[in-house]
Structure 1
Amino acid sequence: MLKRMDVKNLTVFPQAELHFGRQLNIIVGENGAGKTHLLKMAYTLLAVSAEEGKKPSSSSPTKTSLQYRIAEKLVNVFRPEQLGRLARRKQGRERCEVKMFYEDKNWNVSFDFATNSKSEVNIDVLPSKWVTDAPAYLPTRELLTIFPNFISVYEGHYLDFEETWRDTCILLGAPLQRGPKEENIKRLLRPLETAMDGSIELDRNGRFYLRTKDGRLEMPLVAEGFRKLGMLSRLIATGALLDRGFLFWDEPEANLNPKLVRWVAKSIVDLSSSGIQIFIATHSLFLLRELEILLEGNRKSLQETRFFGLHRGKAGVCVKQGASIDDIGDITALDEELEQTDRFLEEES
């Protein structure tokens, strides 16, 4: 479990300490407030540790290996012109600092870099062990349609796509989970397959299909909302999201109609209750309300949930956090939706 992340001078954030919940963490803010930056930073450090730990020649972490791997992954995930561009611009020579604290203290890591850094970071706290569970990152765009041959093309050419796409495609292409965990997988898949009215299949040629009672549809012919649900269902079916681990999901509501958003909200709560620590970024009032409704019916999940509100100011973006949406302050994007509802009701009356 990731317990806390401290950032200083990271892009739009002068300083922030994020205390995470064991199950579900919801980051809310307007466009440009840095929601995705927080997701990507946490994901990057988890991914680097998990990737290094799975190498056949893996040994205990060293500063030499980590200072290059973290820098390389940050550049590939964020896609800046150089690493130092992730450090907040201000007068003087301030450094960007990031600290990650886990339930297992052997995973704790801390590093910093300057605005002119290019290819390495300075490791301040070195973990003594690698993270054991690979994180999953779902971007706002669906990836099932681009999956065929994407990994080989990405690794063999210079493509201007963030590395989260490549990482997620690797997880999507993993074989299906078999054995005693299948019943739990079926339970988690049920709401998604009900919403899609079918299941996701991967053929031998590396193409995904939606299998329905009337046959199967190739992914480019499937509605984009169903494709997004399909990514999540595939990660569950392969065991990438089962029992434990981490899921980062940027704007789950993007390109989904309200009915599908309800199914997504249910899957998010079900997964978080099953042992997956989930981090989502959103500015959808509908999704937030649906999550609140589901969490109110599950007191244990509600106690393990944290909300984070991002607020712009003259000095940068500050973070308000708490156990409920009432603790994170007024978010302009949400207020606009509420204000529109009020105006509509006034016109009707």
Structure 2
Amino acid sequence: MLNSLTIKNFTAFADAEFSFSPGLNVLIGANGTGKTHILKLGYLFSRAWPDLTRSKLRLDKKRTDPYMEERLAGLFRVSELASLVRQGHKNGASLAADIGGSIPTLIITVPGEQIPLPSPNEPMAWEIHLTHIKNHPAQVESIRIPESAATNAFVPKAIFVPSKEIVSLFKGLIGLFENYRQFPLDETYKDLAVALATLEPAAPSPLLPGVAQRIAALLGGELRLEDNNLIFLQDNGRKLESQLLAEGYRKLAMLIYLVRNRVIEAGSTVFWDEPEANLNPAALRLLVEALRQMVCQGVQVILATHSLFLLREFEVLGRTKDLPKIPERYFALNTTKKGVEVSAGDDIVSIDPLVLLDEDQAQSDRFMETLA
């Protein structure tokens, strides 16, 4: 789980801090305010511990530095890390994050005994400095890493869903990344393709039982992995190439696929860039309901959006008496001469400025003028 993120002199940010909720987190701002950059940085640190400890080797700065350099270049798709440092700042950039891990615990109970508390938490603090010396390539220097964390500490899966859909591009995508260094997509697409290649587990996922059925009914089927390709299996048993499915529906089908295959499960963090893209209002309502239910079942959701409809739908569900309350956090990003400034609050009305509402009101005024 991503608890906090601090950014100094990185891309559009001079000095920004984000404290995330364990539930729903929404980033709002005009183009160029760095919403996607925040998602990618959160994803970078959320994946660091699982990636670096997969080989069972001891975590140290000697291994962390090249990993961070490679991942920053891959996630942001830059040839020089120096381009990530905010212009005019020769001392480089600083990035820090607090990730919540846990220590696996074996729980044995007898019938009728109260279930004990969850596994103990294992906080993981990361801090890196991106140095930038004139006439030299930028380098990453690890300032803090969780090297004292328990060797069996566990950080649940993090998944990044980019703004462009990937289902229609899935076949052969992993190989293209491995064979072509200049492939024109960042590594979030490769990571998602690897996640989509996961085989379906024997035990069904407990997440989204009701919403998943309604989404499948809307789509008329579901995605399946066959012969290293994603196909759409229709309710009538016929197979449809995923490219023939509407783009917005491919995104909905992908979400259910990731849940069904337990890529997304309780404890996971989902980073989603513009989930509203190419979805009609009816489908978007189902997506919002699905994301909210995932939060209720222990999934952390961090998304960036331009959609006022999506924001209002979250607010409508939050005000519905029959639905449980969820932890929420909203962030409004605004470009100033000093860099991007961040306003944060636990609901939409407490953040300022909210460009979406301003533009919506301005459009309403213009529309009324045409009727006069």
- Match for residue 144 of structure 1? 167
Change (3 A) 1:332 1:184: closer
Letter in 2 for 1:39: L
Q: Which residue of 2 aligns with 1:112?
A: 129
Of the two, which has the highest radius of gyration? 2
Cα drift, residue 316 of structure 1: 1.1
Q: 1:328 aligns with which of 351, 358, 362?
A: 351
Does 124-133 or 58-67 show the bigger shift?
124-133
State the secondary structure of the residue aligned to 2:229.
coil
Counterpart in 1 of 2:186? Answer: 162
Structure 2: segments with no counterpart, 5+ residues: 101-120
2:29 is the alignment partner of 1:34: no
The offset of 1:108, in angstroms, is 1.3
Aligned counterpart, 2:95? 98
Q: Quote the Cα distance in structure 1 between the aligned partners of 2:221 and 2:215.
A: 9
Aligned residue pairs, count: 345
Q: Partners in 2 of 1:281 and 1:240 — Cα distance?
A: 21
2:144 is the counterpart of 1:125: yes
The percent of aligned pairs where both chains have the same amino acid is 29
TM-score (norm 1): 0.92
CA contact (8 A) 1:21 1:305 kept: yes
Residue of structure 2 equivalent to 1:25: 25
Deviation of the 1:143 alpha carbon: 0.7
Whether contact under 8 Å (2:159, 2:269) holds in the other structure is yes
Q: Secondary structure at the match of 1:291?
A: helix
Q: Deviations over 1:42-98 (max 9, x none)?
A: 101212322223x3x3233110111110110010010122112111112x5232111
Deviations 1:190-246 (A, max 9, x none): 232133232112212423224233723211111001011122111111101111111
Q: Distance in 2 between matches of 1:267 and 1:217?
A: 24
**Equivalent of 2:76 in 75, 78, 84:** 78
Match of 1:226 among 249, 254, 260: 249
Give the partner amino acid of 2:71.
K
Instruction: Call closer, same or farther: CA 1:299–1:307 in 2, change over 3 Å.
Output: farther
Contact conserved, 1:100 with 1:108, CA < 8 A, in 2? Answer: yes
**Which residue of the partner structure matches residue 306 of structure 1?**
329
- Distance, in Å, in 1 between the alignment partners of 2:303 and 2:257 is 18
CA distance in 1, matches of 2:260, 2:250: 15
Cα distance in 1 for partners of 2:251, 2:321 equals 25
Is residue 258 from structure 1 mapped to residue 255 from structure 2 by the alignment?
Answer: no
Moved more, 281-290 or 291-300: 291-300
Q: Output one character per residue of 1:98-129: Cα deviation in whole Å (capped at 9) or x when no partner.
A: 11113445421111112357464111111134
1:4-83 mapped onto 2 (5 Å cutoff): 4-53=4-53, 55=54, 57-83=55-81
Cα RMSD, aligned residues only? 2.2
C-alpha displacement of 1:303 = 5.0
Q: Distance in 1 between matches of 2:323 and 2:250?
A: 31
15-24 vs 189-198, which deviates more?
Answer: 189-198
Residue 338 of structure 1 pairs with residue 361 of structure 2: yes
